[in-house]
Structure 1
Amino acid sequence: MPIETVTKAGRRRYRWTFERVIEGERIRKTKLIPAGISAAEADKLGRQWDAEVYAVATGARKAVVTIGDCVRTHINDKSAGWKDYKTRTQVLEKYAPEYENQDAPDLYEWSVRFAGYMRASVDRDGRPKKPMSHGTIHNTLGYLRAAIKYAHKIGKIAHDETAKMVIPKPSDERHIYKGRREMLQVAMATNDRQLRAAIRVAFYSGMRLGEVLRAVPTRDGFSLGTTKNGRPRIVPIHRKIAVIARRVKFTIKPARVKDEWQKARVKAGHPELRFHDLRHSAASEMINAGIDLYTVGGVLGHKTPASTKRYAHLVTERLADAVAKIGNRR
C-alpha cells in the first residue's frame, strides 16, 4: 500500500510513498498527506498521485511544475540581489508545506485557501497559531507570485497564471498620524542625542529610518543616492532641522534606534507609535497644509501615484471647503 500512518507532532497523519522501477529507472517519491482527511480519502489521493507519477515517468504526461519548484529556481538564480533576502527566505521556508506541491498553473482556489489558512487561528493540526495580517498575507503571496513569474520568464512554465491569484491588499488602517507636539514628546523622552535628532529629521522630511541615517546634507537638500524605488532623490531640508543637518553626523545603528525608540515612545505615552509613523505623519502635515498628493508623493519618493493614494482619505475633510469655492470667482 502506498499509504502509511505516521506520527507528526504527536498527531496521526498519513504519508504517501511511491517506489517503483519504470523502464529501468528506480523512482521514489514521498509526500505527507494534508491533515484532516480520512483513511479512505488518503488512499484515494494516493492512487491519484501514483497514476500521475507513472504517467510522467512513461512519457504519457509532462511533469507538472509546482510552486515549490518555482521558488527554488527563483532563490537559486536571483536571491543574491534581494535586499530582503533574510526576511523573504524565512517566510518562504515557513510556509513551504502550503505551496510546495501546488501546481503552478492552478492558482485561484489555492490562493484563496492559502490566505484563509494564514488568517486562521489554528494550524493544520488544530494547534493555536497567530493569525496573519492583510499586509503579511499580501507580502507572502507577492513573494510566491514573483517566483512563478520568474519561472515563466525563463521558460520553466508555459503560462503565467498569476493574474488568477487572489491577493488581499495591505490594510492602511495601521497608519498613525501624530502632530509636532507628540513628535517632540517622544524626542524629549530619550537621552540619546542622535535618536532625538533622527526623530525630528524623520518628521520634517518624511524619510524612512534607513534614509535618515544615511542622507548626506547638501546645498540642495538631503541627498539619498539610490533609494527603495531604485531612483536617486533629493529631499529639501526644513528650516527647523537645518542646524541638525549641519551638525549631526549619524553613527547610531538601526538596532539601537529601535531599542531606544521603544523606550522613548512608552515613556512619552505613545506605545503604539512606530518610527515609520513619523513618515506617515509628515505626509499628513503636508496634506493638511493644502499640498496636493502629487507633490507629497514627490517628497516621499513614491515611484507611482498608487503609493500616495493611501493618504487620499486625509484630503476628504478639505473637500467641503473646495466645493464651497465653486462659483465664487468674481
Structure 2
Amino acid sequence: MPIETITKAGRRRYRWTFERVIEGSRVRKTKLLPAGISAQEADELARKWERELYVLVSGLIRPAVTIGDCVLAHVSDKHMRWKDATKRIQTLEKWKSEYSEQDALDLHEWSRRFAGYLRANRDHSGQPKRPLTDGAIRNVMAYLRAAIKYAHKIGRLEVDQTARMVIPAVNNERHHYPQRREMLEIARACGDREVRAAIRIAFYSGMRRGEIMRARVTRNGYSLADTKNGRPRIIPIHPRIAVLARRVRFTVKVKRFETEWIKARETAGHPETNFHDLRHGAASEMINAGIDLFTVGGVLGHKSVVSTKRYSHLATDRLADAVGRIGQRGPEARK
C-alpha cells in the first residue's frame, strides 16, 4: 500500500502517494492523512482513496468538492472586501488540516466531530492544546459555512448543505448597565487622557469603541460614515461631552487602550465591567428617562428593532403604568 511515514511540524504523519497508469493516462496524487490515526487506519483509508480514484478517472462519478476547495475560492475572490481579512485567513489556515479534504456535501457528522475537537484540550496525537470556547468555535464554523455557501452561489456545489452543520449556540448577551456614578469612578481612575475621554463619550453617546475612535465631529454631531449595520449615522453631542468633542482627537492604539481601560476599571473597583457595557448604560439611561425603544435603537444604530428588544425589560415601570390605564376613561369621557 503506497503509505509512507513523514515528519511534519515535529510530529509523525502518514502520507499517501498514488501513481498509476489508468485508461492510458498516468495519474499521480498525494495526500497527507489526518493526524493521530494508526497504521491500520491509514492503510484502510488509502485503499478507499485508491478505489475512489480509479472510479473517478474512469469517468464514472464527478469529483467531490472539498471544504478546502470552497475556502480557496472564497478567499481568492472575496478577501479584498473583508474588514477582518487577516484574522479570518489566519484562522482558516490554522485549522486547514481538519477540513481541507472534507466533502462539502457531507457536513453533519464532520461538523459535530470538528466542533468536539476544537473544544477538546488534547490534539490528535494526545498533546495538550488550548480548547476553544463555543463562541470561538462558532466563528470558525461561520467562516467555513460562508465559504461553502459561496461555492454553491458560484456553481461549484450543486446543493447547499450548510443547514446540516452542527454549530454551537452562543448567548453572549450581557446585562450589566453601568450608571453614571460607576462610569465617573472608572474615568477618574484612568491615567490616559484619550481613554478617559472615550469612557465619558461612550456613556453619553452609546457609541462603540471603534466608532468613537473614527467618528468625525460636525455641526450636527458625531458623524459615522461606516457603521456595523452598513448605514451612516449622526449621534447628537451631549452637552456634558461637548468640550471633549472639540478638543480630543484620538490617536491611541488599541493595545494601549485595552491596557489603560483594564487598569482603570480595576483601580475603580469594577473589574468585571467591559467597555462595551458603557453603551448598554447609555441605553439604560435613555429608557429610564422615558425614551421609546425605537428612538433608543436609532441612537445606538440598530438596523432592526430586534437588537433593541434586549433593553425592553428596563421599561417595566412604563409598561406597568400603561397596563394600569386600561379601562380608564379620558377627561372628555368623564364629563
Q: Do Structure 1 and Structure 2 share a fold, with TM-score over 0.5? A: yes
TM-score by length of 1: 0.88
1:289/1:164 CA distance change after superposition, 3 Å:
farther
- CA deviations over 1:205-256 (Å, ceiling 9, x no partner): 1111121022122232211112122211111222221222233232333333
Runs of 4+ in 1 over 6 A off after TM superposition: none
Name which one, 1 or 2, has greater alpha-carbon Rg: 2
- Please say if residues 288 and 314 of structure 1, whose CA atoms lie closer than 8 Å, have aligned partners that are also in contact: no
1:256/1:157 CA distance change after superposition, 3 Å:
same
The aligned amino acid for 1:321 is: A
Partner of 1:226, secondary structure, is coil
1:8/1:197 CA distance change after superposition, 3 Å:
same
1:292/1:45 CA distance change after superposition, 3 Å:
farther
Give 1:319 shift: 8.5
Report the Cα distance in structure 2 between the residues aligned to 1:40 and 1:68, rounded to whole angstroms: 26
Question: What is the match of residue 187 of structure 1?
Answer: 187
Question: What is the match of residue 231 of structure 2?
Answer: 231
Mapping of 1:265-276 within 5 angstroms?
265-276=265-276
- Please say if residues 16 and 33 of structure 1, whose CA atoms lie closer than 8 Å, have aligned partners that are also in contact: no
The aligned amino acid for 1:96 is: K
1:319/1:112 CA distance change after superposition, 3 Å:
farther
Question: What is the match of residue 329 of structure 1?
Answer: 328
Give 1:99 shift: 1.1
1:229/1:318 CA distance change after superposition, 3 Å:
same
Matched, 1:29 2:63: no
Mapping of 1:48-87 within 5 angstroms?
48-87=48-87
Question: What is the match of residue 303 of structure 1?
Answer: 303
Report the Cα distance in structure 1 between the residues aligned to 2:2 and 2:304, rounded to whole angstroms: 53
Report the Cα distance in structure 2 between the residues aligned to 1:288 and 1:116, rounded to whole angstroms: 44
1:73/1:243 CA distance change after superposition, 3 Å:
same
Report the Cα distance in structure 1 between the residues aligned to 2:65 and 2:80, rounded to whole angstroms: 23
Mapping of 1:177-326 within 5 angstroms?
177-309=177-309, 311-312=310-311, 314-315=313-314, 318=317, 321=320, 324-325=323-324
Give 1:158 shift: 1.4
Partner of 1:18, secondary structure, is strand
Question: What is the match of residue 92 of structure 1?
Answer: 92
Partner of 2:225, secondary structure, is strand
Partner of 2:326, secondary structure, is coil
Give 1:152 shift: 1.2
Question: What is the match of residue 160 of structure 2?
Answer: 160
Matched, 1:120 2:120: yes
1:305/1:327 CA distance change after superposition, 3 Å:
closer
Report the Cα distance in structure 1 between the residues aligned to 2:182 and 2:155, rounded to whole angstroms: 54
Report the Cα distance in structure 2 between the residues aligned to 1:95 and 1:319, rounded to whole angstroms: 50
Report the Cα distance in structure 1 between the residues aligned to 2:106 and 2:311, rounded to whole angstroms: 36
The aligned amino acid for 1:258 is: E
Give 1:34 shift: 4.5
Structure 2: gaps of 5 or more residues: 330-335
- Calculate the aligned-residue CA RMSD, in Å: 2.6
The aligned amino acid for 1:325 is: G
- Please say if residues 210 and 254 of structure 1, whose CA atoms lie closer than 8 Å, have aligned partners that are also in contact: no
Report the Cα distance in structure 2 between the residues aligned to 1:259 and 1:210, rounded to whole angstroms: 16
The aligned amino acid for 2:65 is: V
1:249/1:6 CA distance change after superposition, 3 Å:
closer
Number of aligned positions between the proteins: 328
1:315/1:71 CA distance change after superposition, 3 Å:
same
Partner of 2:282, secondary structure, is helix
Aligned-residue sequence identity (percent) comes to 59
